[in-house]
Every structure is written in structure tokens, then in C-alpha cells.
Amino acid sequence: MVTSVAPRVESLASSGIQAIPKEYVRPQEELTSINNIFEEEKKEEGPQVPTIDLKGIYSEDKIVRAKCREELKKAATEWGVMHLVNHGISEDLIERVKVAGKAFFDLPIEEKEKYANDQASGKIAGYGSKLANNASGQLEWEDYFFHLVFPEDKRDLSMWPKNPTDYTEATSDYARQLRGLATKLLSALSLGLGLEEGRLEKEVGGMEELLLQMKINYYPKCPQPELALGVEAHTDVSALTFILHNMVPGLQLFYQGKWVTAKCVPNSIIMHIGDTVEILSNGKYKSILHRGLVNKEKVRISWAVFCEPPKEKIILKPLPELVTEEEPPLFPPRTFAQHIQHKLFKKTQDDLLFKSK
């Protein structure tokens, strides 16, 4: 059996502890904004994450298609996150993906450890928990399973759970359909910037090179949810991120200076604009800061699929058509790998600065 490097959050949660270890307690200035997620989700007042009905994008009618694209553009420009409904992926398939992912996390920990990743050696695919590798030594209240799901020839199926038996088929079908949806959305977002339809997709690697990485996030019940975060505040580095969840609230978006809780919208997929598309659009589309809260009563599970450009092959920079004298480039040219490094470095500097205060 592979021994785990860090204790799994699930083990901590089921050990009967009443107080969480100090590594999981957020800094004081963050604690003031962490409230009860169920109360937060009930709030009707204030801004709400937009819901985009994608039925129009598949329409034969040019006017209906243009209206849907306009709504998508508005949501990408103002929020950078949205609930997608009528997205064309069947409820049945989505349910199979959720059932299979939950069944994996329902296995005993020693079974899951057979799939443990080894972050120290750079092997990030597999079952894991966050290591305290940031300067603040902070941990997040989650375990996860991470693997590449598309293109199919780049997958390592030896790392995929054998149990439950439907895991590989359901996840593969979902990844294929999601890849088609990504093309549709990148096309609409391209047109929204006044570019030709295939432009953004080409810029992020096209069918051969755009990688779809799935991360199943498992947030156990937390005895002190007011002190912890499931995922700390961050923006996604991806081009687009698609998220399913088990209808337990947790996602919060930092919008107009306040944390806004995403409602649980039935049969929807949440889509984030990631840094990659924000850079290419020269900031016209937003990559929004977001985080995940936890709770005492219910386990939360989410399935995030990050659509990422290749690490070295493409230079990410604002597209020349979107740069003018009045609107100079907001981002320097970097490869995707350099962008990730830049963010890590900046975060380390921020953490060190904070610790020195």
C-alpha cells in the first residue's frame, strides 16, 4: 500500500475532532468574510451569477443565435462566470459522472491511496490533498482526484479508478461532449470580440493540443466551517473551466468588492473564463476571483474540468486585433507554463509580505 504524504482531510473529518488543526485556519482578515454557506445561498438581494440558456446557440435562426451570443458576451465581460443551462449534455450522462465520482470517494481511504499522486516528484495525476507548499503553510479543507481526460490519446488510463466500473466510460463520454461544448463556446466568444469564429480555439491549441484536465474536489464536513476554506481565493489559469457539483453550495465569486454565493441551479454546468482567455481578449473577458466554502452538515463534491493550452508551444498575449493606442496590451507575452510560474511567484511574495507584517 502507498503511504500518504499528508493526512487526508477525510481522515481528519471522520476522526471526530471538534477543532480543526491550525494549518487549516484562515488568516484573521479573511475570517470576517466567511459566513454560513446555506444562509448565504438563500440571499435574494444583491448581484447574482448570470444564467445563460444555450438553447439559442444551437438555433437555426440567425437572430436567436446572435441574441444568445450577446448574453454570453455580457456575462463573460461583466462576470467571467455563469450557469449554463440547455447546454446539450444529457442529464443522464451527467448523473453517471457524478455517481461514479462519488462512488470512488466512498471507497475506503486505503483503496483510494492506491491511486495516490506524488507531488514531490512532479506526478500530480491521481488522488491527493494539498501540501503546505505556500509560504503561509496554509492548507485547504479538501481531498481531490486529478487526471487528464482529453485528448484521448494523451490519457493515462492506468491512473483512472477501476472501481466503480462505469467510471472510465462515463467520464470519457462526458469529456468528449464537453470538448464539443468548449468549441461552441469559444466560437461564440470569438465572435463577441469581433474575431473570426475559430480564432480563440486556434489560439489555445485547437483539437489536438487543448488539454482537458478533470479535478474531482471532495470537501468533507468540517467541524469549524467558519474558520476554513475548501479552496482559497484564486483565478483559474485555464482558457475555460466547466464545473458540475452535487447541489451543495460552496462556490463564491468576488464581484464588485463583495463575495457573492453561486446558487445551485439544477441541470446546469458552471463555466468560468480563465486567465488564458482573459489575456487573449486583453482583459475584455474577465477571469474572476473565486473560492470554495465548506460546511458542517453536508459533504460537497465538485467536478471541475480545466481546458488548458499546451504548456510551452503557444505564447499567450493579447491578440493584435484587440490592441490599440487607446487600449495597449495589459499582459506581457508568456507561455502558459511561465504564466503559472508567475502566479506562484507572486503568491509566494504576497504570502511572505503578509507574514512579515
Distance CA(263)–CA(271), nearest Å, equals 13
Residue bearing cell 474540468:
305
Helices (H), 219-331: 275-280
Q: Establish whether 245 is a catalytic residue.
A: no
Grid coordinates given for 258: 463583495
Catalytic residue chosen out of the listed positions 98, 215, 284, 286: 215
3-state secondary structure of 56: helix
Selected catalytic residue, list 87, 245, 272, 290: 290
236, 245, 284, 339: the catalytic one is 236
User: What counts of helices (H) and strands (E) characterise the chain?
Assistant: 11, 14
Backbone angle region of 283, left / alpha / beta, with phi > 0 → left and psi within -120 to 50 → alpha: left
Residues in contact with 188: Cβ distance below 8 Å, sequence separation at least 6, in sequence order: 57, 68, 69, 72, 73
Q: What angle do CA 273, 308, 8 make, to 5 degrees?
A: 95
Active site residue 215: yes
251-255 sheet: strands from edge to edge: 231-234, 290-292, 251-255, 258-261
Q: Side chain identity at 131, as an amino acid letter?
A: L
Catalytic, 272? Answer no
Catalytic hit among 234, 296, 311, 313: 234
Task: Tell me, yes or no, if 67 is annotated catalytic.
Answer: no
Hey, which residues are catalytic here? 215, 234, 236, 290
